[in-house]
Homo-oligomer: A and B are copies of this chain.
Amino acid sequence: MSLPVVAIVGATGAVGVEFLRCLEERNFKLSKLVLLASARSKGKTMQFRGTTLTVEELTADSFKGVDIALFSAGGSISKKFGPIAVQAGAVVVDNSSAYRMDPTVPLVIPEINPEAIKQHKGIIANPNCSTIIAITPLWPIHKVNPIRRLIAATYQAASGAGAAAMEELRASTQAYLKGESFTPNIIPHPYAFNLFSHTSKIDPDSLYNEEEVKMLKETRKIFADNNIMISATCVRVPVLRAHSEALNFECTRPITPAEVKKLLTGAPGIKIVDDPAKNYFPMPQDASGQGDILVGRIRQDSSDASGKSIAMFVAGDQLLKGAALNAVQIAELL
């Protein structure tokens, strides 16, 4: 079999840039890389393995000869161009939320359900970043002592709202420090030294926002377990690119922190950072730029006398394992 032609849709975005880096760093075998973006970015150049590639405008003709298309340009682009890419013969790995809950589309975290990929009909969905970062470390536990309940509070970075939001965090903070006023364009709230509830739409019945609902629905699909109960509180914090999450979960049977540590030690994609003596635990700055999800503060949940509950704290790079890396791992399995 000849090496695949790979296209990146949304190549100039925050995740797009990481797609290139992941393909490069993981030495992904390909015969050609096609960079696609909106007309605005047409003609921009990007470096890949020492050569200069020019960004092309995304059109209905962009996918001729493409074998694998990595999409990260928002849900509406995925909805419009995903089927066109499939029609042209490509397999789409989509980082948007457009197809995640489609029962005919596999939703995959390679460490958890790689076998689901086989059922694809042209599109494979990449889960939401908050979901990936929460449940990749929960899976080794869930496999042996099923998790019945999860309470998650997130500390989400600017990168989840795109490269422009990262820039707005920098610029608004700079203005704040200079005592200047700043009018936000991307983020609807002041962002300098501030935090706010995730700005996705609130469901008027449950009062959960879309990000929180994704964590529930996607986890159930990926774990293939509709019994798991989840309540998430998703919060955007003034951090640039890694998400952190405080997780309290209840298993089916009693479980100890030592057992959790043992289950997670050496688990794929997980790195334990849990040093109570030095007070050193997962931090977004340490998680930024690395593929592993950092896990620490592993302790018995002191609010549950049954001994079935654990509290822990995780941090993972939203652009890598939360997005580009997970998608490239899926592409590797194709």
Contacts and interface: CB of A to CB of B under 8 A. Distances in A.
A27 interface: no
A204 B276 contact: yes
B207 A233 contact: no
B197 A311 contact: no
Contacts of A174: 177
Interface in A58-89: none
Contacts of A300: 206-207
A216 B196 CA distance: 26
A120 to B, nearest CB: 30
B276 A195 contact: no
A194 interface: yes
A149 interface: yes
A233 B302 contact: no
A170 interface: yes
Contact of A235 (B206, B302, B309, B313): B313
A211 to B, nearest CB: 11
Nearest to A171: B177
Contact of A177 (B170, B208, B313): B170
A3 to B, nearest CB: 39
B197 A279 contact: yes
A60 to B, nearest CB: 35
A122 interface: no
A276 B302 CA distance: 32
Interface string A86-116: 0000000000000000000000000000000
Contacts of A151: 151, 248, 301, 303, 311
A237 B195 contact: yes
Interface residues of A, number: 60
Contact of A303 (B150, B237, B257): B150
Given A193-B240, A244-B195, A231 B311 contact: yes
Contacts of A155: 155, 195, 235, 237
Contacts of A313: 197, 233, 235
A302 B230 contact: yes
Residue from the set A155, A177, A237, A303 with the largest chain B CB neighbour count within 10 Å? A303
Interface string A140-171: 00000000011101010000000000000110
A277 B209 CA distance: 11
A244 B155 CA distance: 11
A190 interface: yes
A229 interface: yes
A194 B169 CA distance: 13
A14 to B, nearest CB: 15
Contact of A202 (B197, B240, B276): B276
Interface stretch (A17-25, A37-45, A280-288, A320-328): A280-288
11 contacts: A149-B303, A151-B303, A155-B195, A190-B283, A193-B284, A194-B284, A197-B296, A197-B313, A231-B303, A233-B297, A237-B238
Chain A to chain B: the 7 pairs with minimum beta-carbon distance, closest first: A153-B153, A207-B299, A153-B246, A202-B276, A231-B303, A233-B246, A229-B303
